[in-house]
């Protein structure tokens, strides 16, 4: 009997040594049964709520190729804790004529899949509920509910029972200096982009260790992140702004906003000391209110048609001609530079097989530029489109042809164009 062993541990009170323990127990069981182990598959620190794990994917793939006759694991929840996934694994293994045996349940049957799958799913929900209860309790005690913000350090200490105390934060003085600088500059009227540029110029690393960007400074007001929108800097902890739901197809978490009445807000003035500039958040609130007021005022107004200079078409014809000539240049550096320009003008290239031919959709600024440059007279308002559809034909005529809005691409050129859009 050819056997494959699978072991996994997640982050819930387990450690890397758990993998070795699982493998050792499975090897002993296989030896007692006289089974021959042909492969061992492992996933380290990965949740069993998703099948997007390299180890389990390799196991399923090799089972379909007939590499082994039986899968041995410590328990069903090592394979998966998701009802849909464990049922899918069982169905695929049954089709491949591969049995599943665990040290806890023995040979896995339809009954195990139904009952254990439900129990494992309930375990995940119960674990999530307990975690959230613990986070809420810490927030209501004036501590952080999870994660850390730039300008603070996590306080690591143990309670009387030797258990870690979670949620305590202290101010990081070096980072606090940067935070105060950001607040002062913003209060003085500087934009987030200007502030980020100055920090990068001075060689100050961002929270991620890289360069500062607009979003790092400004963040998202709805999510309460970024330097300027994190209310922790004004001595207020806001928890439960959003919840995370895992996409069943990709396994990635998606953020969903919670209604404001579900938020938990706790004052924590000790986190504010030496950090915040009091009027910064008020200024941000005023700017957002003014923006909303202007948006509401302008919403009923009809958008004016675009005004194009009479010589614009000829100007674009000349620029496109220059771009073409640069692509033919002997200098590789100039050719690469021209290719980068084209790449920036193409948003998407979509190929669709239709009745023995291929329809090509090109989206982006390049379409509008070529359409505009093809006009011999002053173009009508709105002539520059953002999308064009063509049919793949013969080879692409590399000379710019301004007698028609767009040339027909051949498949060879489509492949080259895909590189520009990548």
pLDDT class of 17 with cuts at 50, 70, 90: low
At 413, the pLDDT band (50, 70, 90 cuts) reads very low
101 within 8 A of 71, measured Cβ to Cβ: yes
Residue range 177-190: mean pLDDT, rounded: 88
Q: Which CATH class is domain 152-292?
A: alpha beta
Domain boundaries in the chain? 2-123, 152-292, 312-421
Query: What does the pLDDT average to over 133-143?
Result: 77
Give me the helix-helix angle, 365-373 and 312-327, nearest 10°. Answer: 110
Task: Give, in order, the Cα–Cα distances in Å from 78 to each of 6, 116, 131, 353.
Answer: 8, 12, 21, 43
2-123 against 152-292: fold identical = no
Are the C-beta atoms of 39 and 70 separated by less than 8 Å?
Answer: no
411: confidence class by pLDDT, cuts 50, 70, 90: very low
Give the Cα separation of 177 and 419 in Å (integer).
44
φ, ψ dihedrals at 258, nearest 5°: -95, 150
Distance CA 338, CA 352 (A): 28
DSSP-derived secondary structure for 158-201 = B-TTSPBP-S-EEE-HHHHHHHHHHHHHHHTT--HHHHHHHHHH
Residue 6 has a pLDDT of 96
Does 410 have pLDDT greater than 80?
no
Residue 109 pLDDT class (50, 70, 90 cuts): very high
Burial letters for 309-332: b for 16+ Cβ neighbours within 10 Å, e otherwise? eeebbeebbeebeebeebbeeeee
pTM: 0.45
Instruction: Enumerate long-range contacts of 243-246, CB under 8 Å, 24 or more apart.
Output: 246/49, 246/50
Alpha carbon of 331 to those of 86, 122, 148, 321, 419: distances in Å? 58, 64, 50, 17, 20
- Is the C-alpha dihedral spanning 365, 366, 368, 369 positive or negative? positive
Q: Which two tokens stand for residue 345?
A: 């003008």
Cα–Cα separations (whole angstroms), residue 273 to 169, 182, 227, 231, 268: 12, 16, 16, 13, 10
Q: How confident is the model at residue 153 (pLDDT cuts 50, 70, 90)?
A: confident
Q: What is the mean pLDDT of residues 378-384?
A: 42
Q: Is the pLDDT of residue 359 over 90?
A: no
CATH of 2-123, one of 3.30.2290.10, 1.20.1440.230, 3.40.50.1390, 1.10.3720.10: 3.40.50.1390
Q: Over range 9-22, report the average pLDDT.
A: 73
């Amino acid at each position: 009997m050819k056997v494959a062993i699978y072991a996994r541990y997640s982050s819930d009170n387990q450690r890397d040594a758990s993998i070795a323990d699982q493998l050792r127990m499975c090897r002993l069981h296989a030896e007692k049964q006289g089974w021959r182990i042909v492969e061992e598959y492992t996933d380290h620190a990965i949740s069993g709520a998703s099948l997007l794990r390299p180890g389990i994917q390799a196991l399923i793939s090799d089972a379909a190729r007939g590499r082994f006759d039986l899968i041995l694991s410590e328990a069903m929840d090592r394979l998966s804790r998701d009802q849909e996934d464990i049922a899918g694994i069982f169905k695929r293994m049954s089709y491949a004529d591969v049995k599943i045996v665990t040290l806890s349940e023995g040979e896995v049957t339809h009954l195990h899949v139904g009952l254990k799958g439900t129990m494992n799913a309930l375990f995940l929900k119960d674990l999530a509920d307990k975690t959230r209860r613990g986070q809420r309790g810490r927030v209501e005690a004036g501590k952080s509910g999870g994660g850390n913000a730039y300008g603070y350090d996590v306080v690591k200490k143990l309670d009387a029972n030797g258990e870690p105390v979670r949620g305590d934060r202290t101010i990081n003085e070096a980072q606090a200096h940067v935070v105060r600088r950001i607040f002062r500059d913003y209060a003085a009227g500087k934009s987030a982009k200007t502030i980020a540029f100055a920090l990068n110029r001075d060689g100050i690393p961002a929270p991620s260790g890289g360069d500062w960007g607009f979003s790092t400074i400004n963040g998202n007001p709805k999510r309460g992140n970024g330097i300027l929108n994190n209310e922790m800097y004004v001595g207020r902890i806001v928890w439960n702004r959003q919840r995370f739901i895992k996409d069943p197809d990709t396994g990635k978490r998606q953020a969903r906003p919670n209604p404001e009445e579900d938020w938990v807000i706790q004052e924590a003035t000790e986190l504010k000391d030496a950090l915040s500039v009091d009027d910064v958040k008020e200024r941000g609130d005023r700017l957002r209110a003014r923006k909303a007021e202007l948006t509401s005022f302008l919403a009923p107004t009809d958008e004016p048609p675009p005004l194009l200079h009479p010589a614009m078409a000829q100007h674009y014809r000349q620029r496109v001609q220059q771009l073409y000539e640069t692509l033919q240049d002997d200098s590789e550096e100039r050719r690469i530079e021209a290719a980068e320009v084209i790449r920036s003008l193409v948003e998407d290239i979509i190929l669709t097989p239709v009745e023995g031919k291929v329809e090509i959709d090109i989206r982006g600024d390049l379409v509008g530029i070529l359409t505009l440059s093809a006009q011999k007279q002053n173009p009508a308002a709105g002539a520059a489109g953002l999308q064009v559809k063509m049919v793949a034909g013969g080879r692409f005529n590399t000379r710019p042809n301004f007698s028609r809005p767009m040339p027909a691409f051949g498949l060879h050129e489509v492949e080259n164009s895909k590189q520009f859009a990548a």
